[in-house]
């Protein structure tokens, strides 16, 4: 698990009219994950796509990890649909739930479907807020921008959160991956990896550029 950076291109920045080509070129460049940002227009301002698009990616790309990030209200109801669609990993937001018991229920539901379970926190949420869930998690996602809003700069406090989760993992012997999403480019990626990140979610830094292969390689070599 440790030692090599995983690149997870976000299809939010891809040309969805040529989605198969867009995913294929990132896979060929060395990306092991494809990040699927699901937004419902309620938990966050924007609306993106549902399980149908996840199923489409899954049907065409069985050998790349479908990293599904649910930025939605009441994710408990939606987990079975996204599991059926072919997700390999489903990440839910702490802030989507009212009670701690619901978070545990969501993690258990993801695991019952045979998938890896992740938990994400918004920039304003303290990392200590998810301490109770860490032993059960396969992935912790640190949002380094406010979810659902484009064009934001990388938030510096994300580095402290990443370092916190790395220290907890090392001290307690946990096995989760640490993922970061938002404002990732060559400079910010290097800083997050130095802080302890395993998985880099990148969108506009990769898609829409002629040198995307070089950019992917640059992230993989951090």
Q: Report helix, strand or coil for 114.
A: coil
The DSSP element (H or E) to which 195 belongs, if any, is helix 186-195
Residues acting as catalytic residues: 37, 181
CB-based contacts of 187, cutoff 8 Å, min separation 6: none
CB atoms near residue 198 (< 10 Å): 22
Q: CA–CA separation, 187 vs 107, rounded Å?
A: 33
Contacts of 99 (CB under 8 A, 6+ apart): none
Please list, residue by residue across 95-130, b when 16 or more beta carbons sit within 10 angstroms of its beta carbon and e when fewer do: bbbeeeeebeebbebbeeeebbbbbbbbbebebeeb
Phi-psi region of 151 (alpha: psi -120 to 50; beta: other; left: phi over 0): left
Beta-bridge partner residues of 180: 142, 200
């Amino acid at each position: 698990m440790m030692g090599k950076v995983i690149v997870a291109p976000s299809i939010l920045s891809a040309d969805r009219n040529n989605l198969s080509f867009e995913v294929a070129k990132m896979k060929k460049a060395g990306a092991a994950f494809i990040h699927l940002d699901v937004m419902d227009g309620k938990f966050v301002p924007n609306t993106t796509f549902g399980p149908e698009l996840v199923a489409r990616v899954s049907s065409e790309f069985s050998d790349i990890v479908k990293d599904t990030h649910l930025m939605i209200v009441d994710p408990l109801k939606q987990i079975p649909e996204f599991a059926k669609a072919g997700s390999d990993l489903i990440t839910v937001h702490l802030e989507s739930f009212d009670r701690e018991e619901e978070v545990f229920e969501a993690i258990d539901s993801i695991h019952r479907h045979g998938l890896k379970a992740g938990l994400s926190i918004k920039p304003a949420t303290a990392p200590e807020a998810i301490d109770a869930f860490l032993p059960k998690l396969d992935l912790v996602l640190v949002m380094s921008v406010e979810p659902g809003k484009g064009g934001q700069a990388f938030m510096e406090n994300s580095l402290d959160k990443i370092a916190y989760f790395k220290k907890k993992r090392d001290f307690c012997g946990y096995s989760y991956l640490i993922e970061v999403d938002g404002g990732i480019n060559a400079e910010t990626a290097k800083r997050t990896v130095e802080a302890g990140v395993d998985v880099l979610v990148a969108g506009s830094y990769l898609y829409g550029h002629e040198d995307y292969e070089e950019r992917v390689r640059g992230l993989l070599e951090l």
